[in-house]
Each structure stands twice: as structure tokens, then as C-alpha cells.
């Protein structure tokens, strides 16, 4: 390895060349070529030509065999300081003042025509009043003159510094230390060098609530180090960093309510146990981490886990979950109300997405939202009744019985269907008639014979009708409207079942079918107007 022969203060600096970002690894001469050269390692290794060697001599090293290049210094953009960038982005170019005259306002380097001075634009032009700043991809390389930021724009509360030329966490600290009201900071897509020594001074991030560190190559140890000076941090985004959760956060991340670990493919189920006792964690995003299973070993069948005590919303999209046992485990979470679980083998392999949705709802009793779609009361009831019916024969074979004194399904069934017994208590055990094997699909096999009563019209006779189980409530109302000569808008429908004497179920959603509400042969429709 050659020693640097010229100025070495550029080593480690982040640079931009024709839109591509790189890190300077070498500064010096490269014989037999004359003059000064910079050796850079590209963020995109396909941009380079070699590994830092030339004609057998190693000038610097790269992580990728084609990650390096030699470039003349005059081709490289070392960026600008924070203050210069903010002045470049938030400026006004006034034409001669004249009432009603059009003026060109530059916001984000885009000229916008306005008539006169708009008060919002005027406020943004005055740096001292700026509260939200976006400097994404503006080649920011550091804070600039000491104290300059605090003097020029002291009221900034939110900064997007993603995809810039910051090279170290210390530069971030120097910027943030001058912004006492900073609440939101986005540093995504910066290649930062993190200190191994003591954390930044207390007070640097005293107001910070949201920290975005996506795609910056940070380790879990560095996350804990940086977050240790964020006493009120609520949201932490760590997408695509190759993170391995190596230790339990102690006296750090205790205020975090949202944690995004998406696309960190090295995280496994056991590592999640290390973050399971963050006391205020309400939202956990685990999309695309390669997760194949979930298990809470501290809780038995029908019990709640002590892990993730405050977790309300869990995102498991784009993983490798293929077994229903993982869905059963989620019912052990004390506070879980919302789940997103799309594009997993379990949800993609089934041809019937609606049935899969119903089974997830039935297996997680406290769930209120699934895949961003609210679970209405009637949907939960239908899902639980269908689930109870679908696995009724399996329940009987395992030792289940309508007589509570004889109802002793084996451990294998209870492990596969932890909520089944509670559903039998809720709706009653499935009757033998419900559990007959379905006949081949013919229209006559799908017709329901129903009685139709009119509780408020005693002079109306009880009639009997055969209706398809797929018929929507709206169409049933249309049929009854013609039959009774009553406007559809005035009809209210409900039904009774001999299996649930004394209970009346409202048919509230016109778009749902009779089958959705688990209406069966022999049930009685009640019509009021």
C-alpha cells in the first residue's frame, strides 16, 4: 500500500461525480500518470473499474473488485456547507416591485410565477422563520462556520438531509447542536462514520422525536450509541442497513413508539426477543426481513405473552411466514389491534383471499384492522362462525363434543386451534348438521329454505322462500320490496336461528351475502318497516 504523498485531509470525504456518490480513499500521484489523482470508492460498485490497484500497486482498498476509480480533483464535487445549501434553496428573486406584477420565486431550485408576494413564500424566504427544511441531494458536506446555523435559522424543527455528502456523525452533531428545537431529522442514504467514543453532549438532540436512518450502513451498536442522547425519541426508522440486533437496549430507546426494521435481512426471530421489552413500543415494522416464524415461548396456549406489552400495530409484509401457528402466536400479544401480513406464502398460496382473511380474524381475537382494512362487528362474527364450522369435523375427531362434560379435544388440536374452545363458548359447539360434507356445487345445493316473518305486521302471514346463499342483502330487500309493496329504503332485516334461541342478528350491510352472515337452512328472516 502506497503512502499518501499529498494533502490527506480529503481522505474519507464524501464526493459527488456526475450524480454518483463516492468516498475518497486516496490522494496522490499514480505513476506513470502525471499530476494529482483522487482514488474513490463508489457507492455503486458497477460505476468503478478496479479495486484500488494500478499496474500491480495497491493505492487503496475497496469492498468490491470493481468499486474503485482514479479521478482528477477538478472533476469532483466536494459539496457545500449547510448554510450555503439552505440559502441556495430558499431564496427569492424579485423583479422590480410593482403592484400586481408577476414575480419569479425560486423554491427548491424550481421557478414559480406568483402575483405579488405570497405570505407563505415570504416567510420561507426569511431563514430565521424557517421551520421545515428539505435539503435532500443538495451536496451538503457539513455545518459551515461555527455558530452560523444557530444565528441564521434557529427555529428549524424538521430537516431532510438525505442523500448528501456528510461523512461523519460528528458533522451531524455539529449541525444539530445549533438547532435547539429540532424534532425531525432524516439522514437516509448518507455514508456516515460513527464514533466509538462517548456520545455527543447532553442537549444536542434534546427535542428530537423522529430520526430516519435508512440505508446508511449503521450497526445496532451504533444505533444505541447515537440514540442514547435522544431522551424524547418516538419514531426510529432503520430500513435496509443489514442490521443484526446484537444486544438488548438498556436505558436507551425507552421512549420509542415506532420502530421500522424493514429490509434488514439478517434479523431473525431470536433477535426480536432482545427488543421485546421496549416499554412504549406501539408500532413495529418488520417487512421484508426474511422472517419465517413467530413464537412467544413464555406463554402457553390461550395465555398472553409478557413480550411487546404495548405493541398495537405489527407489519409483517413480504416475509416467509407459511404456517398458521405463527398467526396463532400473535393472539398472545396483549395489545395487538392492527396487523399487516401481505405477500407471505401463507397468504399468497391460498386461491381464496377472503377465506384467508377470515381465518386470520378468527385466530386473533382482539384484532380490529387487518391489512389496513377495518374489521366490522359483522365481519368478525361471520369469520368466527365460518372458522368454527370449517374445523368442526377435525374438532370432533380430536375429542370435541357438544356435551361440555365430554368436550376434551386433544393437545394437538388445541395447539393448532387455540381459540376454538372459546369460540364454542361464544357461539355454541357446532351441531352435526353443520358439519356434513358439502355436496357438489349445484344451484339446488346452494339454496336456503327460509321463513319470512313480519314482527310489526301481525296480519301478514309467515311465508317460506328458497334463496341462494350468495344473494346479497340488497337483493333480498329488493325481492321483499316487490313482494310486500314497501320501498326498499324502509326495510330493516334481521334473522333468528334455532341454534341460537333468543338472539336476533341484524343484517346491516347491504353488500354482504346471506352466507357472510352464516344464514342457514331453517333460519327465519325478520322484516320490519
What is the secondary structure of 189-211 as a DSSP string? T--PBPPSSSPPPTTTTTT--EE
CB 265 within 8 A of CB 293: no
CB-count burial class (<10 Å; 0-12, 13-18, 19+) for 420: buried
Q: What's the CA gap between 226 and 405, in Å, rounded?
A: 59
- Helix, strand, coil share (%) of the chain residues, nearest 5: 25, 20, 55
The predicted structure's pLDDT at residue 90: 85
- DSSP conformation class of 441: S
User: 399: helix, coil or strand?
Assistant: coil
CB atoms within 10 A of CB 438: 7
CB-count burial class (<10 Å; 0-12, 13-18, 19+) for 508: middle
Q: Name residue, grid cell 356434513.
A: 436
The helix (run of H) or strand (run of E) holding residue 258 is: strand 258-260
Cβ neighbours of residue 221 under 8 Å, at least 6 residues apart? 246, 247
Cβ neighbours of residue 101 under 8 Å, at least 6 residues apart? 95, 115, 116
CB atoms within 10 A of CB 91: 14
Cβ neighbours of residue 345 under 8 Å, at least 6 residues apart? 320, 321, 322
The predicted structure's pLDDT at residue 111: 54
The helix (run of H) or strand (run of E) holding residue 81 is: strand 80-81
Q: What's the CA gap between 90 and 181, in Å, rounded?
A: 20
The predicted structure's pLDDT at residue 8: 60
CB atoms within 10 A of CB 146: 9
- DSSP conformation class of 168: B
The predicted structure's pLDDT at residue 197: 67
CB atoms within 10 A of CB 464: 9
Closest by CA to 232, choosing from 250, 200, 249, 257, is: 257
Q: How far is the CA of 390 from the CAs of 385, 394, 410, in angstroms?
A: 9, 9, 18
- DSSP conformation class of 41: E
Alpha helices in 192-257 (DSSP H): 220-227
User: 286: helix, coil or strand?
Assistant: coil
Q: 102-107 and 90-93: which strand pairing? A: antiparallel
The residues pairing with 142 across neighbouring beta strands, listed in sequence order, are 81
Q: Name residue, grid cell 310489526.
A: 456
Q: What's the CA gap between 328 and 360, in Å, rounded?
A: 8
Q: What's the CA gap between 315 and 287, in Å, rounded?
A: 6
The predicted structure's pLDDT at residue 198: 65
Angle at the Cα of 286 (from 314 to 297), degrees rounded to 5?
A: 70
Task: Map out the domains of the chain with their CATH numbers.
Answer: 13-75 (2.30.30.190), 79-93+114-193 (no CATH), 390-434 (no CATH), 447-528 (3.10.20.90)
Which cell is 401 given? 363434543
What does each of the 529 residues of the chain score in pLDDT, given as a tens digit? 333 344 568 898 999 999 999 999 999 999 988 899 999 999 998 889 899 999 889 999 999 999 999 999 999 999 999 999 998 888 654 444 444 445 554 444 555 454 444 544 454 457 888 999 999 999 999 999 999 999 999 999 999 999 999 999 999 999 999 999 999 999 999 999 998 766 656 678 999 999 999 999 999 999 999 999 999 999 999 999 999 999 999 999 999 999 999 999 999 999 999 999 999 999 999 999 999 999 999 999 989 999 999 999 999 999 999 999 999 999 999 999 999 999 999 998 766 788 899 999 999 999 999 999 999 998 999 999 999 999 999 999 999 999 988 999 999 999 999 999 999 999 999 887 777 655 544 444 578 999 999 888 877 888 898 998 888 898 898 888 888 888 888 899 999 998 888 888 899 888 888 988 889 989 999 999 8
The predicted structure's pLDDT at residue 517: 87
The predicted structure's pLDDT at residue 518: 87
CB atoms within 10 A of CB 460: 13
Cβ neighbours of residue 167 under 8 Å, at least 6 residues apart? 12, 13, 14, 23, 141, 191, 192, 193
Q: Within 13 Å of residue 50, how many CA atoms lie on the same side as its CB?
A: 13
Q: How far is the CA of 139 from the CAs of 82, 407, 525, in angstroms?
A: 9, 70, 70
Does the pTM surpass 0.85? The reply is no
Q: What's the CA gap between 509 and 444, in Å, rounded?
A: 25
The predicted structure's pLDDT at residue 455: 87
The predicted structure's pLDDT at residue 7: 56
Q: How far is the CA of 4 from the CAs of 28, 114, 159, in angstroms?
A: 6, 53, 36
Which cell is 377 given? 362487528
Q: How far is the CA of 5 from the CAs of 2, 22, 54, in angstroms?
A: 8, 21, 16
Amino acid at each position: 500500500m502506497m503512502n499518501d504523498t499529498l494533502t490527506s485531509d480529503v481522505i474519507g470525504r464524501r464526493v459527488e461525480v456526475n450524480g454518483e456518490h463516492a468516498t475518497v480513499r486516496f490522494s496522490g500521484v499514480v505513476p506513470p500518470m502525471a499530476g494529482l489523482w483522487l482514488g474513490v470508492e463508489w457507492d455503486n460498485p458497477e460505476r468503478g473499474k478496479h479495486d484500488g490497484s494500478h499496474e500491480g500497486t495497491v493505492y487503496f482498498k475497496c469492498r468490491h473488485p470493481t468499486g474503485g476509480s482514479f479521478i482528477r480533483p477538478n472533476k469532483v464535487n466536494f459539496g457545500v456547507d449547510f448554510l450555503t445549501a439552505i440559502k441556495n434553496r430558499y431564496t427569492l428573486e424579485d423583479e422590480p416591485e410593482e403592484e400586481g406584477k408577476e414575480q419569479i420565486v425560486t423554491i427548491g431550485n424550481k421557478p414559480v410565477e406568483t402575483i405579488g408576494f405570497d405570505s407563505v413564500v415570504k416567510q420561507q424566504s426569511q431563514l430565521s422563520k424557517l421551520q421545515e427544511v428539505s435539503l435532500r441531494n443538495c451536496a451538503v458536506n457539513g455545518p459551515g462556520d461555527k455558530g452560523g446555523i444557530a444565528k441564521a435559522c434557529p427555529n428549524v424543527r424538521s430537516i431532510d438531509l438525505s442523500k448528501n455528502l456528510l461523512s461523519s456523525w460528528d458533522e451531524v452533531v455539529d449541525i444539530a447542536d445549533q438547532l435547539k428545537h429540532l424534532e425531525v431529522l432524516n439522514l437516509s442514504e448518507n455514508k456516515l462514520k460513527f464514533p466509538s467514543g462517548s456520545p455527543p453532549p447532553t442537549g444536542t438532540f434534546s427535542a428530537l422525536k423522529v430520526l430516519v436512518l435508512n440505508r446508511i450502513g449503521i450497526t445496532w451498536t451504533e444505533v444505541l450509541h447515537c440514540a442514547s442522547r435522544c431522551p424524547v425519541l418516538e419514531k426510529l426508522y432503520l430500513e435496509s442497513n443489514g442490521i443484526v440486533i446484537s444486544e438488548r437496549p438498556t436505558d436507551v430507546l425507552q421512549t420509542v413508539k415506532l420502530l421500522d426494521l424493514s429490509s434488514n435481512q439478517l434479523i431473525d426471530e431470536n433477535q426480536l426477543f432482545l427488543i421485546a421489552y421496549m416499554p412504549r413500543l406501539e408500532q413495529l415494522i418488520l417487512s421484508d426481513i426474511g422472517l419465517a416464524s413467530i413464537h412467544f415461548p413464555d406463554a402457553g396456549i390461550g395465555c398472553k405473552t409478557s413480550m411487546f406489552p404495548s405493541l398495537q400495530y405489527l407489519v409483517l409484509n413480504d416475509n416467509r411466514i407459511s404456517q398458521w401457528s405463527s398467526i396463532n402466536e400473535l393472539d398472545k400479544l396483549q395489545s395487538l389491534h392492527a396487523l399487516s401480513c401481505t405477500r407471505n406464502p401463507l397468504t399468497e398460496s391460498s386461491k381464496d383471499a377472503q377465506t384467508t382473511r377470515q381465518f386470520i380474524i378468527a385466530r386473533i381475537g382482539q384484532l380490529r384492522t387487518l391489512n389496513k382494512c377495518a374489521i366490522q362487528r359483522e365481519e368478525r362474527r361471520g369469520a368466527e362462525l365460518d372458522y368454527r364450522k370449517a374445523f368442526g369435523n377435525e374438532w370432533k375427531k380430536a375429542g370435541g363434543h357438544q356435551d361440555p362434560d365430554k368436550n376434551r379435544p386433544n393437545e394437538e388440536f388445541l395447539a393448532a386451534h387455540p381459540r376454538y374452545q372459546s369460540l364454542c363458548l361464544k357461539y355454541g359447539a357446532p351441531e352435526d348438521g353443520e358439519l356434513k360434507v358439502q355436496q357438489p356445487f349445484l344451484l339446488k345445493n346452494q339454496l336456503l329454505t327460509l321463513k319470512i316473518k313480519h314482527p310489526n305486521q301481525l296480519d301478514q302471514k309467515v311465508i317460506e322462500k328458497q334463496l341462494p346463499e350468495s344473494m346479497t342483502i340488497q337483493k333480498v330487500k329488493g325481492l321483499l320490496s316487490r313482494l310486500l309493496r314497501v320501498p326498499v329504503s324502509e326495510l330493516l332485516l334481521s334473522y333468528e336461528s334455532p341454534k341460537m334461541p333468543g338472539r336476533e342478528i341484524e343484517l346491516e350491510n347491504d353488500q354482504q351475502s346471506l352466507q357472510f352472515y352464516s344464514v342457514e337452512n331453517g333460519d327465519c328472516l325478520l322484516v320490519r318497516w
